[in-house]
Chain A
Amino acid sequence: MSEIFGVPVAALMGQLMLGLVNGSFYAMLSLGLAVIFGMLNIINFAHGALYMMGAFLAWMGLTYWGIGYGTALILVPIAVGVFGVAIERTLLQWIYKLDHLYGLLLTFGLALVIEGVFRYQFGVSGKPYGIPEPLTGAFNLGFMFLPKYRAWAICVSLTVCLATWFMIERTRLGAYLRAATENPQLTQALGINVPLMVMLTYGFGVGLAGLAGVLAAPTFQVSPLMGSNLIIVVFAVVVIGGMGSILGSIVTGIGLGIIEGLSKVFYPEASSVVVFVIMAVVLILRPAGLFGRDS
């Protein structure tokens, strides 16, 4: 069995793995967007820019300061998270009472600023980030070669996604978070520091984006434009899945990544638009999204 529908199995599996990598990034980013939207009522347009920033910080760490991949994997999400907290304190906290649309416009402006700064500093060409030593090479599974780094990236993202789900749905902190999402005033009245939680939620959400950026650095080229291309696809993922369910965002993100990967094998011309087409179909058949409560 070396071919399926006239496509070599190795090529099929290769694209499938790449689709899974992409899908797990979609899952991480849409998860962050959903959690942030729940608490702040803001769709964070800067999410893509902060993902790009994560990848760039990893690259800068390695290039300028000799910080390796392992350290970056821990430090960079924290740095991006702290940056997010600073954004929340200085800018976002003033607009919570306004129409949701202003949040989108403000974070869109932020995305332009962040992307513009990196483009000014580093130009638009991609920067290569070598795969760290123990993760180079591939496992030979008999029917295909599985690059170790891709397997690692998928495992880390899935673990982080599931840990986030566990934290929100199964722990006390998560219960506070869900309560504050449902009714901030009442939660505050019960003695929980909601503004602090809002701040940390934003920091955590963009920290996830930063982590996705570090994971992406060795797979894709590090470029200032990598974020804006991704965020629009992630928006489509969010529309398809709806933001009502954490597990729903994860499943939708990974599913769409796989479909996108498969379309690269069977009909490459459509691979860049397939997610948007699915979005249109979902809007016709199930306007509230696959896992969405009615908006």
Chain B
Amino acid sequence: MPVSRDRLTVIGYGVGLAALLFAPHVFYPVLVMKVLCFSLFACAFNLLLGYAGLLSFGHAAFFGVAAYVAGHALKVWGLPAPIGLLAGTLAAAVLGWVFGSLAIRRQGIYFAMITLALAQMMYFAFIQARFTGGEDGLQGVPRGSLFGVANLADDMNLYYFVLAICAFGFWLIHRTIHSPFGQVLKAIRENEPRAISLGYDVARYKLLAFVLSAALAGLAGATKTLVFTFASLTDADWQMSGEVVLMTLVGGLGTVFGPVVGAAAIVTLEDQLADKVGSLVSVIMGSIFVVCVLLFRRGIVGELQALYRRITGSR
């Protein structure tokens, strides 16, 4: 079984990548880029919840801080796009280190409440800070060019740049999950006291996972600024934190592809509903939350995997 499953994974990656290379010719490129950014965001979140068992309800803070810092670096300092993204990612990593050090002092439900509260603190800080533009946000961020080689103002050029960034992010997450580090994270999720008794410095592992997750969420946020050419308070509010939880839950917690599928589903749904139902959209999102928790906890990918196992009769 292991051989054919590995081959299946490789085929899956190949088909996925081919589809993504071709996608902007069929769909509106900006929409696909939005899906890609949120996929990366959800995967980063899932690294923490799905593999380390830590529910962060404050991931919008990292997404938002990176969006603002990248926007500021591109617009005010006039830095090239890759450096701007790097600056945003670094800012998110630093913030992740601070939040992580505080939040890992408590467990379970408290962890979620602490991250939510800290993220709300950042939200209020963003409202008052001068460099964020307050209520208006940062508008008209230039996309610039890729070291003078490719003009990123062109949607197609930008698309392949964004695809490369997200592919790098997914690769990094995939490597992390399947590394010895990832195995220790899973051990901590399954049985923390046992991991401690085996001699692992649990706090350090959790903190490192938190920083990595925050940094990747930041990369997603910074890339989002580049795509939409603005950063606003919406990127950092608690609904955004909830949205990434929902994407991961719908797609499948703790599955590699689940968050990607979930992000695609939610972004597309929002895009379709936006001009039809107005403010009822949060009612629909909330109902999806409730239905998922009650009936559908494995998510789309989780259910498909279970179905596949039943058909092939393996485990």
Contact = CB atoms under 8 A, between A and B. Distances in A.
Interface string A264-285: 0000010011011101100110
Interface string A115-135: 111011000000000000000
B242 A239 contact: no
Contacts of A94: 294
A95 B282 CA distance: 23
B190 to A, nearest CB: 12
Contact of A120 (B108, B125, B249, B279): B279
A146 B125 CA distance: 32
B310 interface: no
Contacts of A112: 242, 282-283, 285-286, 289
B102 interface: yes
Contacts of B289: 105-106, 108-110, 112
A57 interface: no
Interface in B77-118: 102-103, 105-110, 112-114, 116-118
- Of A101, A235, A239, A277, chain B has the most CB atoms within 10 Å of the CB of A101
A295 B117 contact: no
Nearest to B282: A116
B121 interface: yes
Given A91-B294, A110-B286, A116-B282, A239 B128 contact: no
Given A104-B109, A239-B110, A295-B106, A109 B116 contact: no
Nearest to B103: A283
B118 A116 contact: no
Interface of A: 37, 43, 91, 94-95, 98, 100-102, 104-106, 108-117, 119-120, 228, 232-233, 235-236, 238-239, 269, 272-273, 275-277, 279-280, 283-284, 287-288, 295
29 contacts: A37-B109, A91-B294, A95-B294, A98-B297, A100-B108, A101-B108, A104-B55, A104-B109, A105-B292, A108-B289, A109-B288, A110-B289, A112-B286, A113-B290, A114-B286, A116-B279, A116-B281, A120-B278, A235-B113, A235-B116, A235-B117, A236-B117, A236-B120, A269-B128, A273-B125, A276-B117, A279-B118, A283-B105, A288-B106
> Which are the 8 A-B pairs with shortest beta-carbon distances?
A109-B289, A112-B286, A116-B283, A113-B286, A276-B121, A116-B282, A236-B117, A287-B105
